[in-house]
Amino acid sequence: MKTVRAKYDPEVLIVGSVTIDRIIENRSITERLGGVVTYGGLTFQRLGVATSVVTNVADPHRPLLDILSDEGLAVHAGKSPGTTRFVNESRGDFREQLMPETAGPISADQVRPLLEQVRHVHAGPLHSDDIDARAVTLMGESKKLVSLDVQGYLRINENGRVVPGVSAGLEGALGAAHIIKADEGELALMLDHFLESLPGFLRRFRIDEAVITRGSRGASVWTRTGDGVHFGAEAVRRPVSTVGAGDVFFAAYLAAHLYRGLDIDLAAGFAAGVAARQVAGKHIAPALLDLPTEQPGVGGRKRSAAPSSKRR
């Protein structure tokens, strides 16, 4: 496994696939590095939270990880026959996805030696087999705080097309997590599957906080005690791209709430501002992540100059 160490000891470990995303948006087609490890990782790092990531990629795509290590992230990349790929088509809040290729699952052996170095694990699976079940169990048993984006467990790959559906690994992942993020469609799918109200769902899985995103209509945060905070999204006069905005929002919320000690409402407001900057192309500039679409294998990369800037 290739390892690129960060300058500082990491505080958060992000687990999940880095992706090559073909983005069809605003009548344009681009290829861009993506995934929770990319958008969440860069956000944590830029907000002062030293970040480590563990992921799997195919050998020809390993140079792409320099985008992360150049910004100071510690990158732990395992070998895989393939690299996870998505085709994302966005029209407003509507998104349709294809997943023509996936990397091999991230294993417990990859995660185990990294857990001792961090205080927080941020799980960002992009499909049900992204993180091996034994690695998820290890996270839950680690005594570290675990945050989870549930999206990967609520997707089914039907002949390459990503459609809503509950995977077998969801229950174990929820049991390992303290703070989760879902959009309102994913939340409805989970509540219907478990036949629970939101308060009952949070109590059942001992989840401290649920962050529910609603695109341009803002978001809400609910706690296991029954408290809820609602807030609107910040208006963006000239949107550039909505891709990655949810990952950025969740990472910014966690950075403000867990690491800066802000109350839920202040942390959520701060995160809304960072997400708005992302949509406007001013947080993680698209040029930093853009890949040369004329090279299908994406074996190298061309970059434009861009500033880096369950506690039981």
With respect to residue 308, please indicate whether it lies within any of the assigned structural domains: no
The predicted pLDDT at position 2 comes to 53
With respect to residue 97, please indicate whether it lies within any of the assigned structural domains: yes
pLDDT in tens, 143-196: 999 999 999 999 988 887 888 999 989 999 999 999 999 999 999 999 999 999
CATH of the domain at 266: 3.40.1190.20
With respect to residue 179, please indicate whether it lies within any of the assigned structural domains: yes
The predicted pLDDT at position 300 comes to 41
Q: Provide the token pair at 114.
A: 């990294």
The predicted pLDDT at position 115 comes to 95
Q: Which domain holds residue 110?
A: 2-288
The predicted pLDDT at position 312 comes to 37
The predicted pLDDT at position 229 comes to 86
With respect to residue 296, please indicate whether it lies within any of the assigned structural domains: no
- Phi, psi for 295 (deg, rounded to 5): -115, 95
With respect to residue 36, please indicate whether it lies within any of the assigned structural domains: yes
259, 49 Cβ separation under 8 angstroms:
yes
Q: For 126-248, where are the E strands, in sequence order? A: 145-149, 155-158, 161-164, 179-183, 209-213, 219-223, 228-231
With respect to residue 248, please indicate whether it lies within any of the assigned structural domains: yes
How far apart CA 302 and CA 6 sit, in angstroms, is: 23
What is the model's pTM?
Answer: 0.88
* Residue 188, helix vs strand vs coil: helix
With respect to residue 303, please indicate whether it lies within any of the assigned structural domains: no
18, 65 Cβ separation under 8 angstroms:
yes
Nearest CA to 85 among 188, 157, 8, 148?
157
pLDDT in tens, 62-115: 999 999 999 999 999 999 999 999 998 876 667 778 999 999 999 999 999 999
The predicted pLDDT at position 174 comes to 98
Contacts of 158 (CB under 8 A, 6+ apart): none
Query: What DSSP string runs through 195-215?
Result: T--HHHHHHHHT-SEEEEE-G
With respect to residue 193, please indicate whether it lies within any of the assigned structural domains: yes
Asked whether the predicted pLDDT for residue 305 surpasses 50, the reply is: no
Q: State how many domains the chain has.
A: 1
